[in-house]
């Protein structure tokens, strides 16, 4: 089986096993953290399909539009004091039989469907231009047009006070709804902002900083049709998904995307035939590596070095060839510009490389 397939190729072991359904409930979510000590809510075998609910922690920005009974149950069932040290509602963890540290989890995202027809963008206190906007926060509610694969702003309001508690319910029916972005239609890019495996650390680890385990990468290309590779850190992997987005731009500069609950169909395949030091993304067009740091300069350097590793260790190019090719064909981009937590990524087109002998 090739490390990464050419577009259109089918992996040898791709035939799905069982299909599991995983609802998001107070009992199947963990809010704000990964924790290697959490009991799994689902056990799957390599190859199994999972249809899981990912619930946005921003549903409280427009509870009348973004909450149904199941979402409300999570908001009322998970006390505010239990939502930390991060902010994202994570569904899981999923235990993958036989997965052990050093393996890779290949997660094939097959389908991402909005659960409700609305999403929220918060211009947050952790946003890139918070100071330039007078340290005021603001919510813009978007309506989703699934048939057109677009979103359109419905109304906006100034957030009262400071958004500090994850899942704050702002009772916006009482707020001053202002028109916003009249006539502008935003292309939908449904994806998971946060997904990954538990880290080999005792206790809770915040969902906010991304890392080798995946986590809060916020790359909008992690949508249907994409394949993510996560390095397993603990037995079973303990994979969770959350932070569903209907759209964001590279950078996500206000601090949030169009946050909206998604139902996600994916397949998990256990891989022992290769390893990679960080979260690696394959889309129909690209291979993508990520770098993270407080300093965008260093995040970019980390991503550059990981791309060099991908091209040499896995594609088989010489270091010299890889460097030249990166300069003429790899695109560097900014995944996240939220202050204090920068993300960069590097994309190289899969079409550059002819299928290898023995592939397919």
Binding residue for its own copies, selected from 332, 341, 350, 359, defined by CB under 8 A: 332
Distances (CA, A) of 97 to 38, 91, 256, 270: 16, 18, 34, 9
274 or 332: CB nearest its own copies: 332
What distance in Å separates the CA atoms of residue 245 and residue 222, rounded to the nearest whole number? 10
Q: Tell the residue number behind the tokens 């539009």, with chain if given.
A: 65
Cβ neighbours of residue 137 under 8 Å, at least 6 residues apart?
122, 123, 124, 125, 130, 158, 159, 162, 163
81 or 328: CB nearest its own copies: 328
Binding residue for its own copies, selected from 65, 156, 208, 227, defined by CB under 8 A: 156
- In this structure, what DSSP letter does residue 303 have? H
Residue 50 in contact with its own copies, rule: CB under 8 A: no
Q: Count residues near its own copies (CB under 8 A).
A: 65
175 or 305: CB nearest its own copies: 305
Is there a contact between 47 and 269 (Cβ–Cβ < 8 Å)? yes
Part in contact with its own copies (CB under 8 A); list of ranges 60-68, 110-118, 149-157, 282-290: 149-157
Cβ neighbours of residue 9 under 8 Å, at least 6 residues apart?
2, 355, 359, 360
Residues 111-130, one symbol each (x = binds its own copies by CB under 8 A, - = not), give ----------x-x---xxx-
- In this structure, what DSSP letter does residue 5 have? P
Smallest gap from residue 332 Cβ to its own copies (A): 3
Smallest gap from residue 315 Cβ to its own copies (A): 9
Binding residue for its own copies, selected from 5, 71, 180, 205, defined by CB under 8 A: 180
Residue 296 in contact with its own copies, rule: CB under 8 A: yes
Residue 283 in contact with its own copies, rule: CB under 8 A: no
268 or 344: CB nearest its own copies: 344
97 or 158: CB nearest its own copies: 158
Residue 295 in contact with its own copies, rule: CB under 8 A: yes
Residue 143 in contact with its own copies, rule: CB under 8 A: no
139 or 228: CB nearest its own copies: 139
Q: Which helix (H) or strand (E) segment is 271 a member of?
A: strand 262-271
Q: Is the omega angle on the peptide bond into residue 93 within 30 degrees of 0, that is, cis? A: yes
Part in contact with its own copies (CB under 8 A); list of ranges 19-27, 28-36, 48-56, 344-352: 344-352
| Joined tokens for residue 320 | 């010299």
Cβ neighbours of residue 282 under 8 Å, at least 6 residues apart?
4, 5, 226, 227, 228, 229, 288, 350
Residue 289 in contact with its own copies, rule: CB under 8 A: no
Site for its own copies in 206-265 (CB under 8 A): 247-258
Q: Tell the residue number behind the tokens 């998904």, with chain if given.
A: 241
Smallest gap from residue 174 Cβ to its own copies (A): 20
> Three-state SS for 121?
strand
Burial pattern 3-18, b for ≥16 Cβ within 10 A else e, equals bbbeeeeebeeeeeee
Binding residue for its own copies, selected from 6, 275, 325, 359, defined by CB under 8 A: 325
Binding residue for its own copies, selected from 147, 354, 357, 358, defined by CB under 8 A: 354
Q: What is the DSSP code string of 30-63?
A: EESEEETTSPPSEEE-TT-EEEEEE--TTGGGSH
Smallest gap from residue 141 Cβ to its own copies (A): 10
Is there a contact between 208 and 87 (Cβ–Cβ < 8 Å)? yes
Q: Which residues bind its own copies (CB under 8 A)?
A: 121, 123, 127-129, 132-133, 138, 140, 142, 151, 153, 156, 180-181, 183-187, 247-258, 295-297, 300-301, 304-305, 308, 317, 319-321, 323-334, 337, 342, 344, 346, 349, 351-354
């Amino acid at each position: 089986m090739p490390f990464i397939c050419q577009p259109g190729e089918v992996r040898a072991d791709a035939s799905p096993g069982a299909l599991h359904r995983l609802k998001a409930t107070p009992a199947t979510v963990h809010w704000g953290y990964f924790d290697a000590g959490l009991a799994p809510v689902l056990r799957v075998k390599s190859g199994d399909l999972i249809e899981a609910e990912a619930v946005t922690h921003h549903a409280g920005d427009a509870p009348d539009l973004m909450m149904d009974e199941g979402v409300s149950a999570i908001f009322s069932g998970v006390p505010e004091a239990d939502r930390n040290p991060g902010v994202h509602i994570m569904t899981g963890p999923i235990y993958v039989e036989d997965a052990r540290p050093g393996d890779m989890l290949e997660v094939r995202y097959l389908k991402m469907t909005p659960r409700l027809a609305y999403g929220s963008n918060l211009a947050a206190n952790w946003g890139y231009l918070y100071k330039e906007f007078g340290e005021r926060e603001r919510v813009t509610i978007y309506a989703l047009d699934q048939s057109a694969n677009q979103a359109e702003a419905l109304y906006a309001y100034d957030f009262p006070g400071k958004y500090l508690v994850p899942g704050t319910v702002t009772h916006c029916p009482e707020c001053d709804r202002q028109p916003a972005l009249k006539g502008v239609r935003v292309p939908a890019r449904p994806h998971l902002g946060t997904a990954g495996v538990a880290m080999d650390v005792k206790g809770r680890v915040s969902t906010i900083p991304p890392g080798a385990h995946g986590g809060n990468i916020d790359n909008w290309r992690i949508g249907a049709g994409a394949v993510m590779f996560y390095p397993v850190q603990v037995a079973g992997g303990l994979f969770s998904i959350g932070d569903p987005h209907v759209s964001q731009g590279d950078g996500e500069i206000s601090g949030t995307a169009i946050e909206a609950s998604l139902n996600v169909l994916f397949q998990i395949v256990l891989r022992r035939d290769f390893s990679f030091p960080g979260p690696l993304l394959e889309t129909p067009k690209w291979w993508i590596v990520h770098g993270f740091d407080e300093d965008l300069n260093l995040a970019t350097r980390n991503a550059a070095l990981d791309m060099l590793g991908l091209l040499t260790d896995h594609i088989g190019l010489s270091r010299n060839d890889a460097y030249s090719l990166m300069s003429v064909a790899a695109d560097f981009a900014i995944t996240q510009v939220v202050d204090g937590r920068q993300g960069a990524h590097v994309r190289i087109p899969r079409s550059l490389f002819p299928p290898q002998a023995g592939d397919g």
